[in-house]
Chains A and B, each alone.
Chain A
Amino acid sequence: MTILNAAEMEAVAARHPDILKRSPWQRFRTPIIALACVLYFVFAWYYFAVGKVVGGANWGIAGNYLADWVSYEIRPEIGISPDGAMQITYPRFDPIGPNPNPDWLNAKRETVTRTIEILAPAGSSSTTPKSGFNFMAPAPQQQTGSDTSNAAASARSETRSEEVVTEAVIEMGTSRTIDIRPGQVILKRGSETAVIDLDRVGGVVRIDGEMPAWLEQRLPGGRVIAYFGMSGWAEIGADRIRVRKRFLGWANFVFDTNSPFFGKSAGDVISLIASGERIDPQQSNLALAWNNILYNAEWQHLDVWTKLLQTVVMAFIGTLFAMFVAFPLSFIAARNIFRNRAANQVAKRFFDFLRSVDMLIWALFFTRAFGPGPLAGISAIFFTDTGTLGKLYSEALENIDEKQREGVRSVGAPPAVVQRYGVVPQVMPVFMSQALYFWESNTRSATIIGAVGAGGIGLKLWEAMRTNSDWENVAYMVLLILIVVFVFDGISNALRSRLMGSGRG
């Protein structure tokens, strides 16, 4: 190994000044660009007021919304009358069905003689303080039946004997229970137990002893909120206990609560369909079941599938027609094929115009022209893609190998035949590959232009999200979209690699 002395080193440095002595711009280019990027991000932070917005955001809801994607809540509500009798009610649209009797809610019933003070119907429900957590639930429906049904008698009392609930034990998962008695709620979570006294007369809720970390009482004497992690939470007021029990999965995904098949096990349903008596004399059980699935009120399978098909059709037809129109136009736009500068320029500027008027603008215009629906989406995709494909096609045409055309021309073929046999075989794989790529990417963009009214699943997604209570439907649609996109991605990749392979080989 040779070791350079100082003089040799200098000689080498003198021979390669461009490598060893670079200009300041060359030397500091990377840090300067990185610094510019960092400065821009800092600027963006203030420009979008990220700190303020993120700080002011309701992150508590975020967890709930995310949990809603894959789980659902059942919301029993236990009201305690002044005499200690309890009623268990469910909101009308709870996924539990019309006759709830869940095995995780253990109610002790006793027949007692009660003196009932019949109140005007406005009574207890409106005086109940509204829960701050009501964003999830539809307004609780009072189904207290005979208690408050008589509007005429505002304050008379009546004595009768009836069966009421005197104690309710709700299991919130393993070793987590809520034991509700008229004057007391006992909460257990693991080894910890909390006893909460309810003073109905004073409307005061008191926690006995130490308050565990999973309890929260914002105001002294006010409602207590008990958190049970993923299995739900409960809000304990002096005369009303709202429980939210969370279950993993999608509720009533196959049959909704109005269906005669609701709540039956898969085996029961199959045997009913196969050999059961007709539930509806008009149609067979199979037809009824299928009908019930399609028109499931909560999941709207048929509607979702129709909208998804619309999205697919929008992308397919839009891209296909764009390809058909862009194909001949690109021959006019290509300099080497159509030897007329003016025509080339006109065609190219036309493509630029179609491309630059955004897909959004086309979508909004055609939604006005055709009304909301897939026709608007098809037109929007068609117009945008005619521009994009036309531009790409004419660029591909300008890069072709002239030899083949020359060969075909030299044997005396007419111009149309020259293009057919000299040009098309060269560019066809590229054309098809690009069209397939755009078909696949348009399946994605068709979702989003749907949200502005151009048909397809986008609008349905948007509507499901706006209510903030149907996140499970959003998850379902997202899952379907992901499946469709992945399938098309696979088809398009397979076709493209075959096309490009045969084009090269």
Chain B
Amino acid sequence: MPTSMTSPPRLGESGALIERHWQQLATQRMIYSLLAVGLLLAVVTGSLWFANETNSGKFFDRLPHFFDFVDDLLPRDGMEIWRALFDLPSPYDDGSFKYNYPEGRAYLTESLYLPEYFHKMIETLNIALTSTGIGLVFGFALSFLAAKNTMANAWIRSPVRRLMEVLRAFPEVVIAGFFLAILSLGPIPAVIAVSIHTIGALGKMFYEVIENADMKAEEGLRAVGANWFERMWFGLVPQVLPNFMSYFLLRLEINVRASTIIGAVGGGGIGELLRLSIGQGHEAKTLAIVLLLLLTIIAVDQFSAWLRRRLVGEQAFQTI
């Protein structure tokens, strides 16, 4: 280090004042930081204690047995996973539920069949796609009523926004449960639940896109006397559509996961099978479903990322 740093230069009167003030501010800031960290630590400790206390198994009691369930998940041989996945007969078949892989086959023709898990996975994907589609249609319509630059009337705008907030925050599991009680078991309650959430979520993203849109095209249309629908359709829609599509695809990724989870609470599809097979300890079936889910989710994510990149370029991957 250079020697000039060894002794600080003498400060004048005003310099000393600034120096003192700086010291004061630095101390203050340090105290606040320490307080914040202390508070955070206290909250975290309290939360962890609370979580541990209210859990049915205690963390440190369970930790030595943590990997027991991994042992439970190992099938008798590696090929079992593939047999479970493709519904091939198992050599261990003893008539029990655990090895009855061929029973779930959905026959398309006499000899050609769709394995059970693929069949259910397609159902889950369809739930996701349908509900994202419904969300797109309604979110699209609502977003034009919620954006500041397309709807000047605050009496329409703010109820629409509140509606979307409620749709977004309303617990999906309640909607699914309610419609399960009315419509009985099946994928439709899941579609309704996911759709309602999607309408709120997409609507919000859409109206933010609209508010950031360039209004010059709309202004031009207004100047030649276009009505509201014409201004929206020819002035704004071409501009925002790529972004809308990008958000639609993003939602599709999220909804594939969401419909799996809804499935696990009774909404049909692969989620239900996963919950059952984990609960009953059917290791090969569980691993087959996990594998299928993993591959599907990766495939959907990659496909959607590729499409989004084509639609809006790198902008689609900017941070929130």
Contact = CB atoms under 8 A, between A and B. Distances in A.
A352 to B, nearest CB: 7
Interface stretch (A43-51, A90-98, A114-122): A43-51
A178 interface: no
A458 B55 contact: no
Contacts of B48: 317
A478 B320 contact: no
Contacts of B97: none
A374 B264 contact: no
Interface string A439-472: 0000011011101100100100110011010000
A424 interface: no
B62 interface: yes
A392 B317 CA distance: 9
Contact of A368 (B191, B265, B278, B318): B278
Contacts of A338: none
Contacts of B262: 448
A167 to B, nearest CB: 39
Interface in B251-287: 257-258, 260-262, 264-265, 271, 274-275, 278
Given A361-B290, A461-B171, A62 B186 contact: no
A19 B133 CA distance: 31
Given A48-B187, A375-B55, A434-B319, A360 B166 contact: no
B126 A44 contact: yes
Nearest to B300: A356
Interface residues of B, number: 62
B224 interface: no
Q: Pick from B166, B180, B183 the residue with the most CB of A within 10 Å.
A: B183
Nearest to B189: A53
A58 interface: yes
A149 interface: no
B126 A47 contact: yes
B186 A53 contact: yes
A358 B72 CA distance: 20
Contact of A455 (B55, B170, B186): B55
B290 A465 contact: no
A250 interface: no
B47 A317 contact: yes
Task: Give the size category of A's interface with B.
Answer: 35 or more
Given A317-B47, A361-B290, A448-B173, A352 B183 contact: no
Nearest to A60: B182
B183 A364 contact: no
A396 interface: yes
A56 B188 CA distance: 13
Contacts of B188: 48, 50, 53-54
A455 B54 CA distance: 9
Interface string A362-401: 0011001111111110100000000000001001100100
A359 interface: yes
B319 A396 contact: yes
A57 B44 CA distance: 47
B155 interface: no
Contact of A313 (B51, B59, B265, B294): B51
A499 interface: no
A357 B181 contact: no
A428 B50 CA distance: 30
B264 A452 contact: yes
Nearest to A376: B55
Contact of A306 (B54, B62, B257, B271): B54
A40 B183 contact: no
B228 interface: no
B257 A360 contact: yes
Given A57-B184, A360-B264, A375 B133 contact: no
Interface of B: 43-44, 47-48, 50-52, 54-57, 59, 62, 65-66, 68-69, 72, 126, 129-130, 133, 165-166, 169-174, 177-178, 180-184, 186-188, 191, 257-258, 260-262, 264-265, 271, 274-275, 278, 290, 293-294, 297-298, 301, 317-320
4 pairs of A and B residues whose beta carbons are closest in the complex: A373-B55, A371-B57, A465-B177, A371-B56
